Amino acid sequence: MRALIAASLFGLVGLAPGADKNEPKSLRVLSYNIHHGEGIDDKLDLPRVAEVIKGAEPDLVALQEVDRNTTRTRKVDQAAELGKLTGMNVAFGKAIDLQGGEYGLAILSRFPIKGTKTDPLPGKAKQEARIVMRATIEPGRGLPALTFLNTHLQHDDGETREKQVAKIDELFGMADGPFVLVGDLNARPDSAPIKALAKNWTFATEPGAKGLLTIPSDVPKQQIDYVLFRGTFKVLEAKVLEEKVASDHRPVLTALEWTGK
C-alpha cells in the first residue's frame, strides 16, 4: 500500500540550547535500523534501544524498521515512546500498514522539527513499499536550516535499489541544500546504487572503509548502513557503535562540522 502518513510528535525536552559563538558548528548524526525493538536475543526491549541512542549523544537520529501500534510490538507507538525515553523531538513516516498499525521510519532530533514529508520510492508490485522521509531541521547555534533524509531501500533486488536511488537523486540530488541523507541502503560498498549516489553526494561513512561493517550485529560482515551529505560539511568522525544485541544492525554514528557561511 502506498498511502503515506507523516506525523510529528514533539517532546517536552531536548530543544536547541542557546548559541555560543565559540561552540563548534557540528552535528552528531546517528543511523539505526532498530528491527522494531527486537534484539538478536529475541527480546522486545525498546528501553534498551533508547539507551543505545542516548549513549551516542546524537543531535539527529534516523531510525528504520519502526512499528506504530502493531500487534507484534504490543500496540506501542515506538516512535513516540523513543521520543519520550530519549527526550528528543520525534516524527514518524509510514511506509505500510501492518498488523492493525503502521510500520516505517522515524526521526529523532534535539532541535525543533519544522515539517515532515514522505515520498514513495519505486518498487515492484509484490515488494514492500519503500519511502524516503524528509524533515526540516533548524539547529540554530550558527548552523543553517537543513533537510534531514531517512530511507530504507529494498533488500532483495538490486535493480529496484538502483531505481530507488535514482528517485532520491531526482528529488534531492541537485536541489539547494544542505542535506543529510541517512539510512539502511541494503547495498554493499561496491554496488551500483552506492556508486550512483557518489556522483552527487559525499559519504560521511566511506564505502568500504575499515570499521564500518553493520550487519549482523553480533559479528558484522557487511556495510549497508550509511550517512551521506550535500553541502559544506567536514567529517570529524565516522564509526560503528559496539552494540551487539539490541538489534540485528549496529548503529552508525558520524560527526559533521559545518564549514560554510
| pLDDT, tens only, 221-239 | 999 999 999 999 999 999 9
Q: What pTM was computed for the model?
A: 0.90
Give me the domains of the chain, ranges plus CATH numbers: 6-12+28-258 (3.60.10.10)
Q: What is the pLDDT of residue 23?
A: 57
Q: What is the pLDDT of residue 176?
A: 84
Closest CA to 191 of 149, 154, 147: 154
Tell me if 213 sits within 8 A of 240, measured CB to CB.
Answer: yes
175/169 Cα distance (integer angstroms)? 9
Q: What is the pLDDT of residue 21?
A: 52
Q: What is the pLDDT of residue 141?
A: 80
162/171 Cα distance (integer angstroms)? 14
Q: What is the pLDDT of residue 19?
A: 44
192/248 Cα distance (integer angstroms)? 24
* DSSP string for the chain: -----EEEE--SS-PPPPP-TTS--EEEEEEEE-GGGB-TTS-B-HHHHHHHHHHH--SEEEEEEEEES-TTTTT-BHHHHHHHHHT-EEEEEEEEEETTEEEEEEEEESS-EEEEEEEE----TTSPP-EEEEEEE--BTTBPPEEEEEEE--SS-HHHHHHHHHHHIIIIISSSS-EEEEEE----TTSHHHHHHTTT-EESS-TT-TT---BSSSS--B--EEEEEESSEEEEEEEE----SSSSS--EEEEEEE---
Q: With b meaning 16 or more CB within 10 Å and e meaning fewer, what string describes 88-118?
A: bbbbbbbbeebeebbbbbbbbbbbbbeebeb
Tell me if 180 sits within 8 A of 60, measured CB to CB.
Answer: yes
Query: Cα dihedral angle (46, 50, 60, 199), rounded to 10 degrees?
Result: -60
10-residue averages of pLDDT along the chain (261 residues) = 39 40 79 98 98 98 98 97 98 96 98 96 94 96 93 96 97 90 97 96 97 98 98 96 98 96 64
41/105 Cα distance (integer angstroms)? 23
